[in-house]
Copies of this chain bind each other. A is one copy, B any other.
């Protein structure tokens, strides 16, 4: 069976690295939505707490409640997908801090807060151009948060992994203008990549996700983060192939010479995207073995032509899918996507080890 190893020590080291980068005056929250980007929220959130993280971001209410159960009473748990009035009691019972994404949500939360006779905690999300979630700047007014305890005013970068994108300073300027009306409230603008753009963008809290998990927040430069994930798959069978034979479904690859192939126990049902068919490599002892033909649901065919006769693998040996020779970002390139989607697609069929 394929083996997924998640290095919790690297996640901690990444948290420390970001903490050092932003300095003590700035809070480093941990974004652990989507099962901590596929890596397993229970272990990952625990590791982040041990590293000193006290604010966690989830996307959905079930994720938020799960986090509260995992982490106990003390951390702040914020929910990005907003406040739904019909779930108000659940937010309250579990002390979930909703991220308020439009005026409707602000008003509904104010009514709920008022009914509790208290100033309930919230984060307010202002849209500075993403056009996804967030309060429209035109809807802002000085007294709009009366009756609430606003823990942060936040916005979200559109293109922060593009160092020279004019959108970054443009969004920061828009954010600055808007939040200047609320001098007493903490501010937050940065995702992982934003942290590396400019110290001016750090404000009072940053909200890294991908960088904690070892993806590269600076694709224009070497990855400053520690590798978190290794994924190895097992060779089920090795056999020779002859020139002009084909590989896999629909015969999309034709061998140009006699060779040998290994059949590996990982497929698209495990998150090795079918888009990697005939494009990506897996590696054996550091030697690249190209994927031949279409990736199947449970199996992948790799070519052993690059491996010297004396170093040929045998049945039961492991090949690297993600690791020192190929990062999740590298694999994403071959799959025509981004490293995030590689991580969130990792299968529950793997044997998982946390180190």
- Where chain A touches its partner, the secondary structure class is loop
* Nearest CB on B from A343, distance (A): 9
Contact partner of A341 (CB less than 8 A), chosen from B102, B159, B274, B315, is: B274
Contact partner of A269 (CB less than 8 A), chosen from B38, B102, B267, B315, is: B38
Contact A344 B62 (CB under 8 A): no
Contact partner of A236 (CB less than 8 A), chosen from B82, B130, B239, B296, is: B82
A81 to B297, CA, bound (A): 12
Q: Known contacts being A131-B241, A131-B261, A158-B251, is A101 close to B301, with CB within 8 Å?
A: no
Query: Looking at chain A, what size class is its interface with the partner chain?
Result: 35 or more
Contact A265 B298 (CB under 8 A): no
Q: Known contacts being A81-B298, A247-B131, is A60 close to B349, with CB within 8 Å?
A: yes
> From A336, which residue of chain B is reached at the shortest CB distance?
B275
Contact B336 A239 (CB under 8 A): no
A327 to B264, CA, bound (A): 31
Contact A298 B80 (CB under 8 A): yes
A267 to B239, CA, bound (A): 40
* Nearest CB on B from A127, distance (A): 8
- Contact partners of A349 in chain B: CB under 8 A: 34-35, 60, 62-63
- Contact partners of A236 in chain B: CB under 8 A: 81-82, 101, 133
Query: Contact string, A98-121, partner B, CB cutoff 8 A, digits 1/0?
Result: 000110100000000000000000
The verdict on A84 contacting chain B, using a C-beta distance below 8 Å, is yes
Residues of A near any B CB (own CB < 8 A): 1, 33-35, 37-38, 59-63, 80-82, 84, 86, 101-102, 104, 129-133, 136, 158-159, 162, 167, 236-237, 239, 241, 245-251, 261, 263, 265, 267-269, 271, 273-275, 293, 296-299, 301, 315-316, 336-338, 340-341, 344-345, 348-349
